[in-house]
């Protein structure tokens, strides 16, 4: 394992506290945890792509970066009104 894969592993471990907050805290706190988990997962995928030396894998974190932001915006919109 090189530094890329060690870094990706460490980032994936960092998603665990986000999940704990999402389960235990309020809905607004859970949304914040989801946003942070999206960022961490995106960067973990970047590191995995480099670690496996596959340039084509880099399209996945690009898509996730856009989709997680749009998803968070939609949930925030509904959170204030309906949830």
Partner 1 sequence: MSAHDLVVDALVIAGVTGELLCCLGLVVARDVFDRLHFAMASTTLPPFLIAAAVIVEEDWTQPGINALLIAAVLFLVNPMVAHATARAARARRFGQVEATDAERRR
Of 1, 23, 35, 52, the one binding partner 1 by CB under 8 A: 35
CB atoms closer than 10 angstroms to residue 45:
22
Residues 6 or more apart whose CB falls under 8 angstroms from that of 65 comprise: 42
Q: Is 52 in the site for partner 1 (CB under 8 A)?
A: no
Dihedral, CA of residue 43, residue 67, residue 80 and residue 12, to nearest 10: -30
Q: Report the site for partner 1 in 13-32 (rule: CB under 8 A).
A: 13-15, 17-18, 20-21, 26-29, 31-32
Q: Are 68 and 35 in contact (CB under 8 A)?
A: yes
The site for partner 1 (CB under 8 A) is made up of 3-4, 7, 10-11, 13-15, 17-18, 20-21, 26-29, 31-33, 35-36, 39-40, 42-43, 46-47, 49-50, 55, 58-59, 61-62, 65-66, 69, 72-73, 76-77, 79-81
């Amino acid at each position: 394992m090189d530094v890329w894969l060690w870094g990706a592993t460490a980032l994936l471990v960092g998603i665990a506290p986000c999940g704990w907050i999402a389960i235990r805290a309020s809905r607004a706190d859970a949304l914040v945890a989801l946003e942070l988990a999206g960022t961490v997962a995106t960067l973990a995928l970047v590191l995995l792509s480099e670690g496996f030396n596959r340039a084509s894998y880099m399209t996945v974190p690009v898509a996730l970066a856009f989709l997680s932001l749009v998803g968070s915006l939609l949930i925030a919109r509904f959170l204030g009104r309906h949830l």
